[in-house]
Amino acid sequence: MRNVDGLATACYKAGTKKCNKIGFLLGNQPDYLIAYYAAIKLGMMIILINP
């Protein structure tokens, strides 16, 4: 959970807001889950792009 909180904090400080759209181009790896849950925590809309 620390990684999720850290990424969510960094995205928030970078200026992301609720309902912003974000695209993920990640395979099946732990980074995908961290980014996914951080985006959900911020209320962002997620667009999945499978490589």
Q: What is the mean pLDDT of the chain?
A: 89
| Domain hosting residue 30, numbered range | 2-48
The gap from C-alpha 10 to its chain's centroid, in whole angstroms, comes to: 10
Identify residue 9 by its one-letter amino acid code.
Answer: T
pTM of the model: 0.81
Our CA dihedral for 46, 41, 13, 26, rounded to 10 degrees, sits at -40
Percentage of residues of the chain with pLDDT beyond 90: 55
**Does the pLDDT of residue 38 top 90, yes or no?**
yes
Instruction: Name the domain count of the chain.
Output: 1
Phi, psi of 48 (to 5 degrees): -90, 130
Residue 48's pLDDT is 84
> Are the C-beta atoms of 42 and 16 separated by less than 8 Å?
yes
- Indicate the SS3 state at residue 16: coil
